[in-house]
Amino acid sequence: MMTSTRVSTPFSRETTALEVVHGVDLAGRRAVVTGGASGIGVETARALAKAGADVTLAVRKPDDGERAAADITATTGNDHILVAPLDLADQTSVAAFVANWDGPLHILVNNAGMMASPEMRTPQGWEMQFATNHLGHFALATGLRPALAAAGGARVVAVSSAAHLRSPVVFDDIHFARREYDPWLAYGQSKTANVLFAVEATRRWADDGILVNSLHPGAIRTNLQRYISEEELERMRAQTGGTAGGGYWKTTEQGAATSVLLATSPLLDGVGGRYFEDCQEAGPNQPGTRTGYAPYALDPEAAERLWQVSEETLRAA
């Protein structure tokens, strides 16, 4: 039963992922975290492991994944931490991950991503941020749908960003074939796609008991920002609610909290297709602010169109 009341929780932007899972029992549950070797991904995986889940780190660099898995086991006592290779920009890699998965999947956290990169393209000619942040996760989630359905009450978490406020999905030129490439517009478009995916996946998959929500994790210093200068980061920091030099950076443990909330909390039972930030369901964006959601990101018609375009794009690859 889906509820329409805006979700509020006792948590805040200072809450950590481990605080969110306090008292939650995930024994017998299986989870996949993409990009689980670093940043908020590893802290998301750590919290799920602490709550007793079997966690698979789906990572581009398996050696990094093995180090993260060992660290998670050392800090949680959970030795059911697996590592599997996954390159979201490579559809062959995504297909191999899906083919190798066996049995039910209770939690899928689409966490990995790239931010504001120089112009790059996949062999198919797809713009790299859209290919990685959206198309790779779209192929992964749709490929794993039978496993999610088999779990009964599965949850999918789409890590988006307040950067979705920068751009809707520009259906007439998603891959910057005609318009000048802009790293931030490309990133924003891909993050809007993450929110739209949650909207349409919930609509299509609710009968399978699969609920999908999206979130902005907050401003966190991780290797996600490897393409961004210190000056640009400082400007971004100021936009998060403070003056230059005084904006609010979350720790990775705080940054993972909203992902973990959507993945595990009983407060989210029956809730899908929503956008969250700071462990609360967000309201509409107010002009001049960098919080809340853009109406185009929760537009059901755009969500359905994106799904169809994504399926067509993958079929043509």
Angstrom distance (rounded) from CA 158 to CA 142: 13
Angstrom distance (rounded) from CA 65 to CA 70: 9
Catalytic residue among 181, 187, 248, 293: 187
The closest of 301, 151, 253, 215 to 9, measured between CA atoms, is 215
Tell me the torsion sign for CA atoms 305, 308, 312, 315.
positive
Question: Any idea how long the chain is?
Answer: 317
H or E stretch at 271 = none
Cα-flanking dihedrals φ and ψ of residue 31, to 5°? -130, 150
Q: What is the dihedral of CA 91, 89, 100, 148, to 10 degrees?
A: -100
Q: What is the dihedral of CA 98, 102, 106, 111, to 10 degrees?
A: -30
The interaxial angle of helices 257-264 and 39-50, nearest 10 deg, is 40
Which two tokens mark 246? Answer: 């005084």
Name 191's Cβ contacts closer than 8 Å, sequence gap at least 6. 133, 160, 161, 163, 164
Does 248 qualify as catalytic in the annotation?
Answer: no
Active site residues: 187
